[in-house]
Amino acid sequence: MKQATARAHPNIAFIKYWGNADEILRLPVNSSLSMNLDSLHTTTTVAWDETLRRDSLMINGEVANQVALERVAKHLDVIRERLNMSEFAKVESNNNFPMGAGIASSASAFAALTVAAFRAADVALSERELTTFARRGSGSASRSVPSGYVQWFAGEDHESSYAATFAEVNHWDIVDVIAIVDSGHKKTGSQDGHKSAETSDLQLARVAGAADRIQSCKQAILDENFAQFAEVVEYDSNLMHAVMMTSKPALFYWKPTTLTIMERIREWRQAGIQVCYTLDAGPNVHCICVREHAEVVREQLMSISGVLDVVVAAPGGGTTVITK
Ligand code: PMV
């Protein structure tokens, strides 16, 4: 038996990925930017075992459901092909955040799974190649492999669609203060959401402007220019949600509390607090702010009715092997 354990952080996208040019290879229609979230992580052990007759999966100490197992087994098939190997694996994955908390775990899950699976087989891939394989499990997982502030280049084929660090973890002291407003599972996950993106008339416009927004957001991060950062990050999140709301069928992820928080954030910014919002495919609000304003943002969020919890995360490192 050959085994390894890897740990990965989820990430929050500042310029979003929404829609694939190739569903099987998960080649996105546009490049994206993100930051890893240090206080949240998934730890996954992969054990390749020639005596096993199928793959198995435990999540947070419980046998995973069939849908989750099939998705993981499919990802392991892709990895087995690269390794030219036929052994099955026992996979055990644990999140330090509750699965039902509405914090997406697929990015950290597939980043940790990919890195642990290759390491367990004693095959050392470059970071770049690891990002391409993580991408096959969940697009955003590619961005959880490198450290800090990361760009995922859309690319044109499996090899050219990869992610890389563009600013180190300690480059800029910003914090993600996540307001949890709903703990239930979403009705439409991102896998199906990506498929419906092209049914919105607005998707073409969103994609057409993505390269300019990447440029502007990257520059704002490199210059630590919060005003420029806030403008492009909120605009990009609004654009993605406009596409979701105008897709067929329409996807509405916002709850009344989501809108209340977005309104408050604009007011707080007017009042001099350096904070802006961004939302993934769910109602929780990621409030990105400079470190010195994190505590006041957290306190203010806790006082809003409908906010169930607040989780704080600073820029995080990449996926690491913790035992082998
Ligand atoms: O990697 P997926 O399939 O879970 O897609 C992620 C989609 C968003 O979170 C909405 C945006 C992003 O870029 O992370």
Residue 104: pLDDT over 80: no
pTM of structure: 0.97
> What pLDDT is attached to residue 102?
66
Reply yes or no on whether the pLDDT at 100 is more than 70: no
Ligand 1 centroid from CA 123, angstroms: 28
Q: What is the CATH number of domain 174-313?
A: 3.30.70.890
Res 114 pLDDT > 70: yes
Q: What average pLDDT score do residues 92-115 get?
A: 87
The H or E element spanning position 225 is none
Distance 169 CA to ligand 1 centre (A): 21
pLDDT of residue 101: 63
Phi, psi of 13 (to 5 degrees): -80, 135
| Gyration radius of the chain's alpha carbons | 19
Whether 2-170 shares its CATH topology with 174-313 is answered: no
Range 182-198 average pLDDT: 84
Residue ranges per domain, the chain? 2-170, 174-313
Q: At what angle do helices 226-245 and 210-223 cross, to 10 degrees?
A: 150
Phi and psi dihedrals of 200, rounded to 5? Answer: -90, 135
Return d(Cα 216, Cα 139) in angstroms, integer: 22
Highest mean pLDDT among 103-112, 183-192, 271-280: 271-280
Task: Name which of 249, 242, 321, 314 is nearest 279 in CA terms.
Answer: 242
**Mean pLDDT computed over 196-209:** 98
Which of the four pLDDT bands, split at 50, 70 and 90, describes residue 185? low
Question: For residues 190 and 65, which has the higher predicted lDDT (pLDDT)?
Answer: 65
CB-ligand 1 contact for 236 (6 Å cutoff): no
Ligand 1 atom closest to residue 138's alpha carbon, by position in its atom list: 1
Which atom of ligand 1 is least distant from the CA of 106? 4
Section 29-34 average pLDDT: 98
Mean pLDDT of 148-158: 98
Does residue 150 have its Cβ closer than 6 Å to ligand 1? no
The finding on whether 281 has its CB within 6 A of some atom of ligand 1 is: yes
Q: Is ligand 1 within 6 A of the CB of residue 14?
A: no
Residue among 41, 8, 4, 116 nearest 311 (CA)? 41
Identity of residue 175: V
What is the rounded average pLDDT for all residues in the chain? 96
Determine what percent of the chain is predicted with pLDDT higher than 70: 98
pLDDT over 90 (residue 246): yes
**pLDDT (mean) for 62-71:** 96
pLDDT value of residue 190: 87
What Å distances lie between residue 95 and 42, 92, 104, 112, 221, CA to CA? 4, 10, 11, 11, 29
Confirm or reject: Cβ of 257 under 6 Å from ligand 1: no
Assign domain 2-170 to a CATH class.
alpha beta
